[in-house]
Chains A and B, each alone.
Chain A
Amino acid sequence: MKSKIFTYINVSTQPRPDGSMAGTSVIVESGISVANWPGNAQSVALENYVALEDATLIQHLRNAGANLKGRTFMAELGLGLDRDTCGDAINSGLSDVALKTDTTGEARMAATASGCFGFKPSYGLISRFGLFSLIPSMESCGIISRSLETISKTIYTMAGLDERDPSMDKSGIDRAMSQFNHPKEFQDCPLTVGLVRELNSAMGHEGNKEFEQACEKLGKAGVQIKEVSIKDFSLARTSHNVIGTVEASSSAGRFDGVRYGHRTGTLVKNWNEMYIKSRGESFGPLVKAYLFQGGYFQYKNYNAFLDACRIRASLIETVEKAFETVDMIILPVSDKPCATTQKPDTVSDFYDVFSLTLLANLTGNPAISIPGPVNDGNTRSALQLIGQRVDDARLLALAARISDIYTGEMHHEI
């Protein structure tokens, strides 16, 4: 029988019984390599692809006794949430943890839709070796779970320096790991959260009532709310779009139909035609449009890419500066109530959904989505917290406190 949630169910390997992750089940989206599992990242470009070895983070989970359950549906090459089922898997109690690459906010958004926590770790803490990275400079392995404790344990297991990922944050890792060992420090300190001054203009005139109410609630509970300015906030989306497409166009160059993936079945005259046809057949409409935009910036308007990188530099600096006065930045996950994930028709539709989550991907900060109450019409609102880079453990600890206030429930201590 074909599962509606899983694309692959692992029955072959048994987890080791001991280890910090023993008894924790994990589903892994197919953009993350697991040895001998099919891993087509839901794209024709990788049809019939079977990973030859584990991603480093999978190796860590395996060693810690995690129960790797299988793969759920995902959007093509992880771009957006079209057809994604990892939230359903958690909701149906089929797994404790879902791993999902977060390049634009996918893990946080998928978690929100299904009422879970979604965490995007700091860039450079978890090895990206074995991820099918479409946007290498922004991707992190996102973690979705109902329990912050489980998220914390999972990151701690997966993080660590890996020689096979040259983009890791060597100096940051030690600091991050030591924080995980002293979580109590963050339990009673006073809390200051930063409200982005430019948020309302970025979201249009209306503002977001539910978000304002949530902030009020925090204020009443003694959390200090402070305004911070992130100058180029309104350009973050376009900057992500330009950089993301350029990196994707570059990364997707490897899908040439030579060493793996799809090769056109039609008769071709030469090598170039083989590429053009094979790659033309390999990508769905959204990914293809995305790659064409990247091609435009690479080949026709490289200055736009440099401009986008300048804005990225400005964002990194101003976000960093904000943490001089606040413990975390607070944002909605989305400027609309987070409905069921709709299939985006255009790149612009896709960015409409992720316009408020992508900031953390641009700047590499850790970010978490905290599920809120269910609204009328079965939509859900959610809060997003962005922490200081590398202070992932601290963000998780503070998120537990914010979540308690926001939802009025008690969570377990970490």
Chain B
Amino acid sequence: MLYHDRSNCGRLGSADIGKTVHLAGWVDALRDHGEVLFIHLRDQSGIVQLVFSSEFAPEEVCQQSTSLRNEYCITAFGRIVKRALGTENPNIETGDIEIIVTDMTILSRSDTLPFSITEKAMVGSANEIESREPVSEDLRLQYRYLDLRRPGMQQFLIKRHKINACIREFLDQKEFIEVETPILTKSTPEGARDYLVPSRVNPGHFYALPQSPQLFKQLLMVAGFERYYQITRCFRDEDLRSNRQPEFTQLDLEASFIDEEFIFNLIEDLLCRMFEIGGTSLPRPFPRMTWQQAMDKTGSDRPDLRFEMLFVEATDIFSQTRYSIFKQILQRGGVIKGINVKQASEGLSKNVLQNEYAKQIVPGFGAKGMTWMRVTEDKLDSNIVQFFNAQEQRSIIELFNASNGDVILIIADASLEVVNSALGRLRLHVANRLDMIPKNSFIPVWVTDFPLFEATEDGVTSSHHPFTAPDRMDFDPSDQEDLLSLLSRSYDIVINGEELGGGSIRIHDPSIQKKVFTALGLSPQEAEEKFGFFLQALNFGPPPHGGLALGMDRVVAMILNTPSIREVTAFPKNRSAFCPLTRAPSLVAHEQLFELGLLDLGKTEALPGSDQEQEIIDYISWVSRIGFEEDERPIIQSALEDAVRMAEELSGNAREYEPAISVFRGQNHFRKGSEATRSSSVKISDLFKNAPFVKGDYFKVANILE
């Protein structure tokens, strides 16, 4: 079969009427009218309707067409005709025409599909197929190649390709060159956990998969490539979150002889072009906030600025207050801050404010409580308003710029961090609940001037990474207070409260770099061991440089407005970091571990990933979630030995019988009635009577993750 004369289904149109075409693709949908069979033929370009009728096609073709099923791969010849008036299908681009088939060959057949692929209705009167059965994500991932056949999914990957192409074209214009850096690299235990790769040639030694090409790109600057970029895969072995993949793609770039303004300009220009592909134009220049401002105003270092509701500092107006809770907090040097939720008194009833927010939601955010006030008839209305004098009440209304219908929410605590964090989460919670976040709105912001270090139990740690340049060089690495006062020359790009990327101007002076390592508590020997190669490079005339990395999965998901990054990833892992398609990760053979020298590594400890793993008793204790004490071990151990013996005893007997799981053949039982109804047998409140721990209307349990 030759395909040189093949046309694309989706590109045919009225202009082609009368032509004879050769098409190939998949059967998207079928409609059998007895005499006439209609099918939707789909290729990557789109869908066109084929018509099989004995009037035009030879009998064997018509005969064959009756065996067609969804997703058969076929090729066909036919004549393009205009559809009869009233039979046009506006659901597809080629809805005005159809192909009268004269010849057809089945190229390959498809098994029954695990889920429906078609997205386009065959008749004009039906809307697009919206009520498709929701398919479980694991099933979609298991048959990802079928999931990806769906035009919607294809568009995501095609658009992602266009975004990548746009990046490459733009950066090429700006004279950036793409350089590949290694995937097998050195483990640096800072930051997230590394994925390790054992080396067979150097037994007992490991490569790490890169968490980012940070040091390599800085070495490229030392090497004299003034502008570098790479669209590259990075790996982090982090705990599971819904929107996180163990491997992800970064746009990584770095340039020499530049400052922050260069990066801001470059990235704003680039992001505008990328968002343009999704049909969104971003307003330039992007606003900027220092980290301090962002924390003071939104309680978050990735502020969502699609709505206002900025924090108001109210500590001062309560300096003389009689209200004992505020008074005590102020005596302990605390702060009082609040937000004004404009025109929200309808959505936030007294009951909601007191019983939901003050009693449950805000304590869940880590604050002890919340004070609320509604503004009605130019007065404050609240359960505690009587504790505030007229002057205080006037000040509150004034300070919060409040008018009738507004609701003021205030959080007070001895710790500024607690107030900022809880009020920040409250701000988002209220905005979501009251639907105050405009749809299809994209508000970018640069967050700058992060603290260089954060305090830890035994010193400080880098807020970004240890190669970020500080705002001044005269710091004393042994003075913690001095260290914590340092700001960094770093910047994050945030859109709609999501951090899409970040970067910094780097340290290029080896003495400053050493001082930072000292501040982080690394001895010169340790620094040498971990970063010796890099410190040495800084001794050979490094240029001043800086850069940034964008999380491409997140950016693309945002541009294409998909619910998760898995939708814009061809073959993602599921939420358990497992690939249902290939069933990775998997156990490996004993021999493989032996060859890699991994058998002796753990000595007597459990060998994760080995199929001859820990003792059965510990495995069963884990999978059954039943702990045991050491003194119980012998009796359980012997029970398990009995179990092994019993399994052997039964093996091979009664082969001719089907396993019986019940004494008589079970029947399916259906509940009466078609609607789900709440059981009348027990009241919900009664269910809590037996609960060991209850919080509000919920059973209380331990954290899911540590």
Contacts and interface: CB of A to CB of B under 8 A. Distances in A.
Nearest to A247: B661
B218 to A, nearest CB: 38
A314 to B, nearest CB: 4
Judged by DSSP, the binding face of A is helix
Contacts of A170: 667
Interface string B546-564: 0000000000000000000
B620 A296 contact: yes
B689 A262 contact: no
Contacts of A405: none
Interface in A337-377: 345-348, 362-364
Interface stretch (B267-275, B343-351, B401-409, B641-649): B641-649
B706 A270 contact: yes
A310 B628 contact: no
Interface stretch (A4-12, A46-54, A94-102, A216-224): A46-54
A7 to B, nearest CB: 17
Given A52-B689, A279-B626, A314 B657 contact: yes
A299 B650 contact: no
Interface in B611-649: 616-617, 619-629, 632, 635-636, 638-640, 642-644, 646-647, 649
Contacts of B320: none
A272 B689 CA distance: 24
Interface string B649-660: 111111101111
A313 B638 contact: no
B1 interface: no
A256 B625 CA distance: 9
A320 to B, nearest CB: 10
B632 A288 contact: yes
Interface stretch (B119-127, B377-385, B447-455, B695-703): B695-703
A268 B625 CA distance: 14
A292 B639 contact: yes
Q: Is the interface of B mostly helix, strand, loop or mixed?
A: loop
A232 B653 contact: yes
Contacts of A163: 672
B540 interface: no
B650 to A, nearest CB: 4
A288 B636 contact: yes
A304 B659 CA distance: 11
A98 B415 CA distance: 63
Interface in A119-149: 123-124, 137
Interface size class of B (residues with CB under 8 A): 35 or more
Contact of A299 (B623, B642, B661): B623
B650 A304 contact: yes
A270 B647 contact: no
Contact of B642 (A123, A172, A249, A347): A347
Nearest to B694: A259
Interface stretch (A181-189, A234-242, A327-335): A234-242
Interface stretch (B196-204, B290-298, B679-687): B679-687
**Residue among B644, B653, B667, B687 having the largest count of chain A Cβ atoms under 10 Å:** B653
A275 interface: yes
B667 to A, nearest CB: 7
Contacts of A262: 692
Nearest to A297: B643
A395 to B, nearest CB: 16
A313 B701 contact: no
Chain B CB count within 10 A is highest, among A169, A288, A294, A299, for A288
Nearest to B658: A313
Interface string A396-412: 00000000000000000
Interface residues of A, number: 80
Interface string A170-185: 1010000000000000
Given A260-B690, A303-B651, A285 B635 contact: yes
B625 A272 contact: yes
A386 interface: no
Interface in A162-218: 163, 166-167, 169-170, 172
A274 interface: yes
A280 B627 contact: yes
A164 to B, nearest CB: 8
B626 A291 contact: yes
Contacts of B690: 48-50, 52, 259-261
Contacts of B657: 310-311, 313-314, 317
Contacts of B84: none
Nearest to B624: A295
A135 B692 CA distance: 25
A239 B706 CA distance: 41
Contacts of B15: none
Contacts of B619: 299-300
A239 B622 CA distance: 25
A104 B22 CA distance: 72
Interface in B369-400: none
Contact of A307 (B620, B640, B650, B702): B650
A281 B661 CA distance: 31
Contacts of B324: none
B662 interface: yes
B584 interface: no
A383 interface: no
A260 B642 CA distance: 32
Interface in A276-328: 276-277, 279-281, 283, 285, 288-297, 299-301, 303-314, 316-317
Nearest to A281: B627
A280 B626 contact: yes
A316 B660 contact: yes
Given A258-B699, A271-B701, A295-B623, A307 B651 contact: yes
B670 to A, nearest CB: 10
Contacts of A108: none
A269 interface: yes
Contacts of A280: 621, 626-629
B643 to A, nearest CB: 4
Contacts of A259: 687, 690-691, 699
Given A137-B661, A292-B636, A293-B639, A307 B682 contact: no
A263 B699 contact: no
B439 interface: no
A310 B663 contact: no
B623 to A, nearest CB: 5
Given A280-B626, A296-B620, A268 B702 contact: yes
Contacts of A305: 659
Given A170-B667, A309-B660, A292 B626 contact: yes
A301 B642 CA distance: 13
Contacts of A345: 635
Contacts of A285: 632, 635
B666 interface: yes
A367 to B, nearest CB: 13
A312 B625 CA distance: 29
A258 B701 contact: yes
Nearest to B690: A260
A116 B598 CA distance: 64
A46 to B, nearest CB: 9
Contacts of B653: 232, 235, 307, 310-311, 314
A127 B701 CA distance: 33
B699 A52 contact: no
A280 B624 CA distance: 10
Given A271-B703, A305-B659, A313-B659, 16 more contacts: A53-B681, A167-B662, A259-B691, A259-B699, A260-B691, A270-B702, A270-B706, A271-B704, A288-B626, A289-B635, A291-B624, A299-B620, A304-B646, A310-B653, A312-B659, A348-B639
22 contacts: A49-B690, A137-B661, A172-B664, A235-B650, A239-B650, A258-B699, A279-B625, A280-B626, A283-B626, A288-B628, A292-B636, A293-B640, A294-B624, A295-B620, A295-B623, A297-B643, A299-B619, A299-B623, A345-B635, A346-B638, A364-B663, A389-B663
5 closest residue pairs by CB, A with B: A280-B627, A364-B663, A309-B659, A304-B647, A260-B690
